[in-house]
Amino acid sequence: MDRIKAMEERKAKVDELEREFVEDFIKLRKDKHLTQESLANKSGVIRLTITRIENFITSPQINTLIKILKPIGYTIKIVPIKKKK
């Protein structure tokens, strides 16, 4: 099984809210022109952890989320879930 297919299978098994979060995170990181390595250096989180989050191999812990979001100017917040129509 190739890497992309394996990632897509893992992604399909992830909760919808987590999947949307990770996809948004990847977009924000790329919009800030940060590689995984440069984000790792800025956040103090090892690159392998960022890779595992972005490939849906692991779910991030809250403290990790705070560390990786801070360098791109974001944080986490509890908000109501929007209901789909």
Provide the residue range defining the domain that includes 25: 3-72
Residue 85 lies in a domain: no
- The predicted structure's pLDDT at residue 9: 77
Percent of the chain at pLDDT exceeding 70: 95
Q: From CA 23, how far away is CA 16, in angstroms rounded?
A: 11
Percent of the chain at pLDDT exceeding 90: 66
44: left (phi over 0), alpha (psi -120 to 50) or beta: left
Residue 84 lies in a domain: no
What is the value of pTM for the model shown?
A: 0.81
- 3-state SS, 38-68, equals HHHHHHCCCHHHHHHHHCCCCCCCHHHHHHH
Three-state secondary-structure class, residue 10: helix
On whether the CB atoms of residues 57 and 65 are closer than 8 A, the answer is no
Residue 59 lies in a domain: yes
Indicate which CATH number applies to the domain containing 7: 1.10.260.40
